[in-house]
Structure 1
Amino acid sequence: AAHAALAQGRRNEAIQHYETVLQVNPTIVAANVALADLSLARGQRAEAAKYARAALKENPRLAGPLVVLGRVALEESRVDEAIDLLQKALDVNPNLPSAFFGLAYAYQLKGNRDRAIQNYRKVIAFSPGDAASYNNLAWLLADDARSQGEALRFAQKALELQPRNGRAMDTLGWVYFKQEKLAEAEKHFRAAGEILPNEAAIQYHLGLVAHRQGRTADASAALKRALLINPNFEDAATARKLLQELGG
């Protein structure tokens, strides 16, 4: 019944069914595994971790719950612990795109570009429709002039898979910016900003492209918008420095 409810998108009904099953027997692995996944999808990290641990108590060699615990650790900024858990999941099942994605993102957070790229490539090898991996790969590859052609292909692929994804538009704009194709970059940053008007990084990118084009007033306005949206966004210090240089 729970499988049927899930297949038809009736997630709450499936959760109720699995919870009822566990009231009768709290050690049933399949129910704990399903609830761990469903809880994580709803953003309920503590619940997800509880069900994942219950499943692993019955069978420590289950890749799915290890991935759930790894993703919970990642979302709570316990990056090294996440890497350890996700690697354990891959030791059990070496063909898990979700584990490779988690590892890639963890290494990206740690600034280990090469390992992040390596793991994102594994995701798309197993799961060629994974837009987020194409997007993140494009972003990482854009930094190196030697891989900007590939970065462009991956950014275009991400946007092809998710045409209304503002982050993918921003990434494509960033690749064009790195290639000095400023008009194309601005076009995509503007489109991204329409979809995600409260994303400081996009306004910052608009500021950078305006600065590069010599449009000082537009650059200052965009940088101010970025800092107003989020005074602590990732590139806030660079934005403030540039704003100061522009006399803002």
Structure 2
Amino acid sequence: MKQWILLWVLVLGACSEPAPKIPQVDVAALEGPVANAVQQSIEDLELALDEPRLWSNYAEVLQAHQLYGAARKAWQARFKLGSLQPGELLLMLRCEEALGQPIEGVQEAVSSLLVENSDLISLRFSRGSSRLRAGDLQGAKEDLELALGQDRHPAILLAFGRTVLSLGDAERARSLLEEARAGAPGDVDIQKTLAPVYLQLGESDLANTELQRQLRGPKALRFDPAEIRMTQRSVSSSANTDRAREAMSRREWRIALVWLNKILAVYPDRASAHARRGMCHLMTNQPQEAERDFRKAIGEDESLAMAHRGLGVLAGRSGRTAQAVTHLARALELNPDDPDAVGMYPIALLKAGQLQEAESAYLSARKRFPNNRILVQQWLVVLRRMGRPDQGFAAATSAIQELGEDAALLHHAGLCLEAMGRTKEARQYHERSVAADEKSPSAARLEKIK
């Protein structure tokens, strides 16, 4: 009888446990895509308040958009449901760190899980990183050293290198950071940490070399699936990226800048956004801002063809012909199908005095984009301005044979003939240009060469 009474007490106690409340968010104050994502998560959760997966989903959406206060409440509700996964605990640690407020029971749960399963590298690394940022150097050293014993990932090497550096062991920090750099040669955080280490060790030349080193290759990105999944939930950034792309496709550069500035305000190291903003600055005649953005983009991700193309354009405009050739060649290496880079490269070679290479690059470009009239026009203009009107005329007649009576090409052919002193023939080409398009600038030329 006593057992039945005890059982009924437990059942009644369970029934009296209030259902968790969904932390509310003022969606009216959020951007449309973010508000939709949050609202959808709430609607899903309202259908099954006892479903752990839905609480995790809601917390992740909130945390992905930096709504940490509400995310903390959602994680608290999820914690009470039990059966926590390592990835969930990892994100709870991140939320605690962002707010500077603990989530009750999380630290104990993490410690317990790590005792039970020592192979949870991501969770141990995350706790070690949090301890490092909180100033608990010994705790960070303990966690990160154990994590490093299982996986010498560049991100772990970087965090552990920073830890031992803070503990005063610069030599060991150097060894760890150099190993991290070998694994992630494109990571700016490793570079920023390693240069001061060299200075501390009295090796100023190495420090200067490190600061001037061009970053290439992968970065020491976080590698836990839970963090990657949460990042992918950040629809605000992706929506703004789409808006920026659409504005750029319509050549509405200043509108695109608005969206790109929003992205970079939240993600200041996003290389692709810097590259796009650099292009917008370039197209609105802001060369200094453009160069700054392009260099920032390449500093974060050396493989961005758009940034190299932009730097090639800027270098060409300022007379730095060798740099123009280098950047445009790299842009083509990264994206051989970029028509702008394909057209600019032979011109850069020509201005750099590499005549044979320029001719070869131009013919290759014509073969790749046979109907690109602007490519031909740019080539003709540069040849004429560089005192090579004979080559320009030959290129023009060849293109006219392939593309037909194009007014612009006929006009440039006439200009090349004028430069060679062949006025009578020039007049014929200008007449053909006007016949093809009565608005052709050849009409004005005809009045001058009567």
Q: What is the TM-score of this pair, normalised by structure 2?
A: 0.41
Q: Is the 8 A contact 1:101 1:133 kept in 2?
A: yes
Match of 1:21 in 2: 33
1:190 aligns with 2:202: no
Whichever residue aligns with residue 33 of structure 2, its letter is V
How far off its partner does 1:188 sit? 3.3
Structure 2: gaps (5+ residues): 1-30, 39-64, 66-235
Structure 1: gaps (5+ residues): 1-18, 232-238
For 1:75 and 1:175, how far apart are their aligned partners in 2?
Answer: 21
How far off its partner does 1:126 sit? 1.3
Match of 1:46 in 2: 254
State which of 242, 254, 270 in structure 2 corresponds to 1:34.
242
For 1:187 and 1:121, how far apart are their aligned partners in 2?
Answer: 28
Once the two structures are overlaid, the 10-residue window that deviates more, 86-95 or 176-185, is: 176-185
For 1:121 and 1:141, how far apart are their aligned partners in 2?
Answer: 10
Whichever residue aligns with residue 326 of structure 2, its letter is Q
Q: Deviations over 1:5-40 (max 9, x none)?
A: xxxxxxxxxxxxxx8415547962222223222221
1:79 aligns with 2:271: no
Larger radius of gyration: 2
1:191 to 1:70, Cα distance in 2 relative to 1, 3 A: farther
Q: Is the 8 A contact 1:95 1:126 kept in 2?
A: yes
1:143 to 1:86, Cα distance in 2 relative to 1, 3 A: closer
Higher relative contact order (CA 8 A, sep 6+): 1
Q: Is the 8 A contact 2:312 2:328 kept in 1?
A: yes
State which of 359, 363, 374 in structure 2 corresponds to 1:152.
359
Q: Deviations over 1:185-218 (max 9, x none)?
A: 3413535985763x4xx45631343235553133
How far off its partner does 1:45 sit? 2.0
4+ long deviations beyond 6 Å? 174-177, 223-226
Aligned length: 214
Q: Deviations over 1:122-141 (max 9, x none)?
A: 10121223332232121232
Q: Is the 8 A contact 1:173 1:187 kept in 2?
A: no
1:132 aligns with 2:340: yes
Q: Percent identity?
A: 19
1:171 to 1:128, Cα distance in 2 relative to 1, 3 A: same
For 1:50 and 1:69, how far apart are their aligned partners in 2?
Answer: 9
1:181 to 1:52, Cα distance in 2 relative to 1, 3 A: closer
Task: State the superposition RMSD in angstroms.
Answer: 3.6
For 1:212 and 1:77, how far apart are their aligned partners in 2?
Answer: 31
Q: Is the 8 A contact 1:89 1:99 kept in 2?
A: yes
Q: What is the TM-score of this pair, normalised by structure 1?
A: 0.70
For 1:235-246, list aligned pairs within 5 A: none
1:230 to 1:87, Cα distance in 2 relative to 1, 3 A: farther
Q: Deviations over 1:103-152 (max 9, x none)?
A: 111222333322222210110121223332232121232245x5111111
State which of 170, 175, 180 in structure 1 corresponds to 2:377.
170
